[in-house]
Amino acid sequence: MHRVMIHPASYDNCRNAVDRAFELFPPDIAGKKVVIKPNVLRTSKADEHIVTHPSLLRAVVEKVETMSPAEIVVGDNPGLFNYGDNENSFEQTGLMAAAGGYYKNLGNTPQHVPFNPDFMSEVGVSKEILDADILISLPKFKTHGLTVMTGAIKNSYGILPGAQKARLHRIAGSPERFHDVIVAVFRLRVPDLFIVDAVVGMEGNGPASPDLRDIGLILASNNAVALDGVIARMMGLDPSRLRFLQKAKEMGLGEFDADKVDIEGEMRVLKDFKLPPLGGEFILNNPVIQEFMETKTKVRPQANPDLCTACGACIDQCPVSALTMKDDLPVVDADRCITCFCCQEICPEKAMTLK
């Protein structure tokens, strides 16, 4: 039997709910490396509620600090294309301050791992995520135009640095296949604990909709399928109709059926909750958006000969050895490149541009 916590909360007091989450799902933190991953979709203000609220991140960081971890890292890979705005996204949202000095740019360290060859034979995953002893995911309670809702499983899409996210969107080619992609990414490193910011949620055409909803709750679980099933029900959805949830269940990642989930707290369906207009087709079947994705995912790094000092740092950093030095200038193998853009992040001369 899985367990999901639903606890009243405000942004002035997230700590009671966080304490209860840690009591119900106690992670073994002492002496361990703990990575905390909020949902940082993009640069925005905290009160737009596009990202996990800084108050929840702060409460989780303070809680983990009391549990004698060896190391704490806070980070994410914002954006589908992530052209070097990682710090900026954390600063603007207030998540940098909330991270309390533990922030790290996860976009600099992709480690290449095998993936589902139906999509890409390998992807780069932030090394900090792969090295974490304990991974704590902090999703936001939101709708999503492509997957209908975003929650625990979808938050793991941000373990991919750079434009791989956009590239996988394009390769998926249909909403159904994109649901399979997000489960495949989630499985690369299943988090140990999920604490969801549902104090203010988002409805309508998320994940960056102006339609906000005061919910006044924090949810938590150590199982993403059970947790996302509860979020779906609160939104008025049947979890079995969400392909990514059904897929995750079939893969043995958890159960969402009501008789398999023990709820601590009161689950209520949010009245007249507004769902995205076309549940996915809007994005992936839209030719304008497809063309935009196509153009963006064709971008590759290119060294500027006027700035490049041929130091080789980008070549050492590339997780898939897509760069080689030719005539004192790094040159990219466009087919091999997984568009993580770590070469651009690492270049001390800012010589690596995107073409």
Q: Interface with ligand SF4 by CB under 6 A: which residues? A: 301, 303, 308-314, 317-318, 320, 322-323, 330, 332, 337-343, 347, 349, 351-352
Helix (H, G, I), strand (E, B) or coil at 40: coil
Compute the distance between CA of residue 175 and CA of residue 92 in angstroms, rounded to an integer: 31
Considering beta carbons, is residue 168 or 234 the nearer one to ligand SF4?
Answer: 168
Considering beta carbons, is residue 237 or 323 the nearer one to ligand SF4?
Answer: 323
ω into 207 cis (within 30 of 0)? yes
Compute the distance between CA of residue 81 and CA of residue 284 in angstroms, rounded to an integer: 17
Contacts 24+ apart (CB under 8 A), 310-318: 311/348, 311/349, 313/346, 313/347, 313/348, 314/342, 314/343, 314/344, 314/346, 314/347, 314/352, 315/343, 317/108, 317/342, 317/343, 317/346, 318/342, 318/343
In the bound complex, what is the minimum distance in angstroms from residue 188's beta carbon to ligand SF4?
17
Displacement of CA 318 from its chain's centroid (Å):
22
Considering beta carbons, is residue 263 or 320 the nearer one to ligand SF4?
Answer: 320
In the bound complex, what is the minimum distance in angstroms from residue 236's beta carbon to ligand SF4?
41
Considering beta carbons, is residue 129 or 193 the nearer one to ligand SF4?
Answer: 129
Q: Which residues pair with 214 in a beta bridge?
A: 200
Cα angle 235-243-25, degrees, rounded to a multiple of 5: 65
Considering beta carbons, is residue 67 or 310 the nearer one to ligand SF4?
Answer: 310
Cβ-contact 168, 228 below 8 angstroms = no
In the bound complex, what is the minimum distance in angstroms from residue 305's beta carbon to ligand SF4?
9
In the bound complex, what is the minimum distance in angstroms from residue 308's beta carbon to ligand SF4?
3
Residue 317 identity (one-letter amino acid): Q
In the bound complex, what is the minimum distance in angstroms from residue 317's beta carbon to ligand SF4?
6
In the bound complex, what is the minimum distance in angstroms from residue 164's beta carbon to ligand SF4?
9
Considering beta carbons, is residue 211 or 349 the nearer one to ligand SF4?
Answer: 349
Cβ-contact 68, 31 below 8 angstroms = yes
In the bound complex, what is the minimum distance in angstroms from residue 79's beta carbon to ligand SF4?
14
Considering beta carbons, is residue 224 or 343 the nearer one to ligand SF4?
Answer: 343
